A and B are shown apart, each in its own frame.
Chain A
Amino acid sequence: MTTLNVDYMLGLVPVLLKYLPLTLEMAAAGMVLALILACLLAVIRVLKTPVLNQFAIVFVSFFRGTPLLVQLFLFYYGLPQLFSALTAINGITATIMGLTLHFSAYMAESIRAAIVGVDRSQTEAALSIGMTNSQLMRRIVLPQATRVALPTLMNYFIDMIKATSLAFTLGVTELMGATQKEAAGSFLYFEAFLVAAIMYWIVVELLSWLQHHLEARLNRAYNR
């Protein structure tokens, strides 16, 4: 067994760090868009809006029921064949699109469950003091639903950061793609991917720390 080439690994850190922002940008964009879409889907499901509700059910079923990688290939290679206007779609856009649709399906379900889980009598109490529907949503229901949904939403965000590595299969040079190229040049596969793995790990740990603090803040009202 040969020893670990630590010098190579240390030298690789600044090289790979240059690609980390793209990874984080794709995840952040995917998260923001997925959250918006998920909230829309959740509200449609809670209100059971005719037609839209059926659409939401099929949407969630499809995007939860098929692999993300298949969806990415469908968007990147498949759609341009159908719609010539989409030939200009690049790997980054296709990745953000795939992450958004895929994860919004999961997130819609946890947001819906969190809204439904808010004690019904508190909604009645809000109505009884004369609040409008939007006031009671904003002041009473959503703050409590957020607290319930936060841990799962953060889990999806963490999952999404790691899922950006699939962009490499669409030819995007993000953290994973850059590592692949470096490793192919040096043949030091283990060292290269170990550095990449540690980088993902550190990012996720930072997020977990943030999640912990957010949860503690939101749980203040519930400590006996």
Chain B
Amino acid sequence: MIKLDSLRKQYGSTVVLNGMDLAIEQGEIVVIIGPSGTGKSTLLRCINFLEQPTSGHIAVGDLSVDVTRASKDDILALRRRTAFVFQNYALFSNKTALQNIAERWQIVDGWPKEKAHRKAMEILERIGLKDQAHAYPASMSGGQQQRVGIGRAMATGADVILFDEPTSSLDPEWVDEVLGLMKQLAAERQTMLVVTHEMTFARDVADRVIFIDGGRIVEQGPPKQIFQNPKDPRTRDFLQKILENNPGGG
């Protein structure tokens, strides 16, 4: 489904991703954890070229791209096979909830407006925001905005949805409704790659947890193994710190 080969990203002489290898199966839910500034977000952003990777290969579905030779069309094709959920929601503020979701079908896929809006209504129903269809982002709560953000990603029908710390900017009261929606998607076996600090979500929902430090994968495995029996001292260190600071999160 997704395959990364020696993916590398550096800014000047600073190496952010140090040769990342990763394969994700269809329907797999993978959670990435790790200290801040270790390249978790950069990894997600390189997969759809929001950042230009320095070298390596990215394959999504039947599309395989050598990043040093990626053409404009390759990048567009990669972006159309992936979807992204942003930490700060990044909803189009000049569009209603319905229009935010319909935009992919109406503009990128060129569907007639009525059809795009009808299908967007179905998504709103699934994310429980039918009553907010004609509301603009400015009038919605953070939790509602992020659910629309997820709905917009769902509408792409992408092979994989990339979640970049989807609950980190939310007030605590809205975190559960967003995690709830993500669990619902996981139960439908939507392929997901999630960067998060929500350890409960990682433990309960992930098929596999990956610990990243210093731009590489330090350790990976089923949540049980990572949380109860981490092998690498760096993983142990990180988990200890995060569970101390946030006991409820463990």
Interface residues of A (CB under 8 A from B): 119, 121-122, 124-132, 135, 139-140, 143-144, 147, 220-224
Q: Find chain B residues with CB under 8 A from A125 CB.
A: 84, 86, 90-92, 152
B93 near A129: Cβ-Cβ < 8 Å? no
Complex contact A223–B139 (CB within 8 A): yes
Which of B50, B76, B93, B95 has the most chain A CB atoms inside 10 A of its CB? B93
Judge if B201 is at the interface, Cβ distance under 8 Å: no
User: Are A223 and B138 in contact, with the CB atoms below 8 A?
Assistant: yes
Give which listed residue, B94, B108, B153, contacts A140 with CB less than 8 A: B94
Tell yes or no: B234 within 8 A of A by CB.
no
Tell me if B90 and A130 are in contact (CB < 8 A).
no
Say which size band chain B's interface belongs to: 20 to 34
Given contacts A128-B50, A131-B107, is CB(A222)–CB(B138) below 8 Å?
yes
Judged by DSSP, the binding face of A is: helix
Which residues of A are found within 8 Å of B139, using beta-carbon distances? 223-224
Known: A129-B108, A221-B138. A124 touches B90 (CB 8 A): yes
Given A124-B50, A128-B50, A221-B95, A139 contacting B107 (CB threshold 8 A): yes
Q: How far is the CA of A119 from the CA of B95 in the complex (A)?
A: 14
Question: B138 is contacted by which of A119, A129, A135, A224 (Cβ under 8 Å)?
Answer: A224
The 5 A-B residue pairs with the shortest CB-CB distance in the complex, in nearest-first order? A128-B84, A130-B80, A121-B90, A125-B90, A221-B136
Question: Within the complex, which residue of A126, A220, A222 is in contact with B92, where a contact is CB–CB below 8 Å?
Answer: A126
Task: List residues of B (52-94) whose CB comes within 8 Å of A's CBs.
Answer: 76, 79-80, 82-84, 86, 88, 90-94
Name the residue on A nearest B45 (C-beta): A124
Which of B83, B94, B96, B137 lies in contact with A129, CB distance below 8 A? Answer: B83
Residues from chain B with Cβ under 8 Å of A144 in the complex: 93-94
Across the interface, B93 reaches (CB within 8 A) one of A124, A127, A128, A221, namely A221
A130 touches B79 (CB 8 A): yes
Chain A nearest CB from B51 CB (Å) reads 10
Q: Are A131 and B108 in contact (CB under 8 A)?
A: yes
Q: Which residues of B contact A130 (CB under 8 A)?
A: 76, 79-80, 104, 108, 156
B103 near A129 (CB under 8 angstroms)?
yes
Contacts of B136 in A (CB 8 A): 220-223
How distant is A66 from chain B, measured CB to nearest CB, in Å? 37
Closest chain B residue to A139, Cβ basis: B107
Q: How far is the CA of A124 from the CA of B79 in the complex (A)?
A: 11
Judge whether B138 and A139 touch: CB under 8 Å: no
Q: Is B48 an interface position by the 8 A CB rule?
A: yes
> Which residue on chain B has the smallest CB distance to residue A129?
B104
* Min C-beta distance of B176 to chain A, whole Å: 24
- CA A126 to CA B94, docked complex, whole Å: 13
Among A119, A126, A132, A222, the residue within 8 A (CB) of B76 is A132
Residue of B nearest to A126 (CB): B92
A144→B139 CA distance, assembly (Å): 17
CB contacts (< 8 Å) of B79 on chain A: these are: 127-130
- The A-contacting residues of B in range 141-183, CB under 8 angstroms, are 152-153, 155-156
A residues less than 8 Å from B94 (CB atoms): 140, 143-144, 147, 221
Nearest CB of chain A from residue B100's CB, rounded to whole Å: 9
A127 to B77, CA, bound (A): 11
> Can you spell out 6 A-B residue pairs with CB atoms less than 8 angstroms apart?
A121-B86, A129-B103, A131-B107, A221-B95, A221-B136, A221-B138
Q: How far is the CA of A131 from the CA of B48 in the complex (A)?
A: 12
A135 CA / B79 CA spacing, docked (Å): 14
